[in-house]
Structure formats: C-alpha cells, structure tokens
Amino acid sequence: MSASKPVLWHIPISHYNEKVRWALDWKGIAFERHAPTPGAHMAVALWLTRGVHKTFPILQIDGRTIGDSSAIIASLEQLEPDPPLYPSDPAELDRALELERFFDEELGPHVRLLAFHELRRDPEALAVFAATLMPAPMARSGVARALGARMGSTYSQLRYRVGGEDAAQLARKKVLAALDRLERELEAADGHYLIGDALSVADLTAASMFMPLAQPPEGPNQLDLPEPYERFREPLRERPGYRWVLETFARDRRRSPQREPALPAT
C-alpha cells in the first residue's frame, strides 16, 4: 500500500459507490472522502479522469486515478489482497466475476431507474430526497428544496431516462429477475455466501445493488420513498433474497470510523 491516504470521490447515497466504500472498509483501508453535489460531480469526474469517466465512484490511490466500481475493487485486490474479495480458486473466481457483472449490469441501473421514476412522479417526496443531497443550511430552506427537486427531476430524466412508464415496467421486471437469480444462486450455494464460505465480490455487489430496494440500516441512509415504490417492494420483504440482503449488510458491512453520519432530518 502507498503511504499516502487514498481519496474516494463518491455520491453518498449511490449503490455503486456503496460497493466501493464497503470494499475499502472490508479491507481496513483508511481513505478520504469527497462528495461534490450530484450533477456537478460529472464535471469533476471528467476532470479527474481526463475525460475517461463521467460519474463516480473514482478512487485516487497509489498514484493512479481509477473509475468504475469493478476496476476499483480489482485494483484494491492487488494493492491489499487480505482479506480477499476474490476467491483463490480460478473457477470460483470466474463465477464471482460473472455474478459481479450480472448484478452491476442487470440490476444496478434498473433499481436506480425505478426509484427515480417514482420520485419524479411525487414532487413532495422528490423535494425531501433532494434535501438529503444538500448542505444542511440549504436543506432547511423550502425554496432551496423546491429548486433542488426541479433540478433533480430534470437531471434524472436527462441522465437516466426515467420518465416513461415503459422504462419503469422494464425496470420492475429486471429487479424481479435479479431477485430470482439471487435466490437460485443462494439455493445452489446452500450457505450464507454465494461462493464458498466467505464474503466475495459477488456477495458485496449483489447486496450493494439491492441496497436501494432493501434500505438496510447499515446503508448510508434511509429514504421515505413514494407509495408506489413501497407497494412494489412490500411483497418482496419475505422473500429469501430480500432477507439475505439485510442479513449480509448486518453481518458483513463493517462499520468504519469514516462512515458518513446520518443525513439531516428534513
């Protein structure tokens, strides 16, 4: 490990960013955090990576600037291999990386789109959500919250294309398909973990990507999401995969002194 402290540029509420924070905490790596305002973070990301990446997380470590959560974890495995997130057996490693790709690509974008879709349809809930992204003095201002909600609605539509019901319906199907896949993998594994008897990148990714749905207490914050989103997730609460997400966070999301404090009440 380099003697200088790594710097993580992140969005506190993001599930992809939580994936990297979890990996850093799991390996006991002390790091600094920078969290520019969402939206403005894209310009920062482009500047940090010289145009290669437009979003967070970005990790500056050992003289390098690394974007993409999977690439960051791969680098962490090289720099700090213990405790490992990659299985030592080559076949198990291939499975772990395949599961990482699946949950990153087939769940992560869709669970995010669904949350933003429902928030955009509920101005009051969107204003409350926008306040969680603001500095505390701004979050207490009704005008600032309303402005933040309008900006958030525009940004989420431009960035994630969340406005249409067809996209939301596809997102619901993708989330349910990912939950089905998780439960099949857990049944085959017959244990706490997807691969072997220890936490791997497969578990960390699956749990992190389901974070917006399950809202585990160990996550960065709890959100009051719109009633249609609650209706969607209510029947999922008793499913084995949903319970596994909560159990994995409770058991393996090591708390670090550097974790964010709770966001201000609104």
CATH number given to 7-79: 3.40.30.10
The architecture that CATH gives domain 90-252 is Up-down Bundle (1.20)
Q: How far is it, in rounded angstroms, from Cα 67 to Cα 82?
A: 22
Task: Give tens-digit pLDDT for 35-70.
Answer: 887 777 888 889 888 888 888 999 999 899 999 999
- A 10 A CB-CB count for 75 gives 15
Distance CA 223, CA 112 (A): 13
> What are residue 245's phi and psi, to 5 degrees?
-60, -50
Query: Any idea what the Cα angle at residue 190 is, between residues 185 and 196, rounded to 5°?
Result: 80
- pLDDT tens by residue, 32-42: 999 887 777 88
Between CA 102 and CA 106 the distance in angstroms is: 5
pLDDT tens, residue by residue, 154-199:
444 434 455 578 889 999 999 999 999 999 999 999 889 999 999 9
Q: Domain boundaries in the chain?
A: 7-79, 90-252
SS3 category, 53: coil
pTM over 0.85: no
Return the residue matching tokens 């690439």: 71
- Distance between CA 91 and CA 224 in Å, rounded? 41
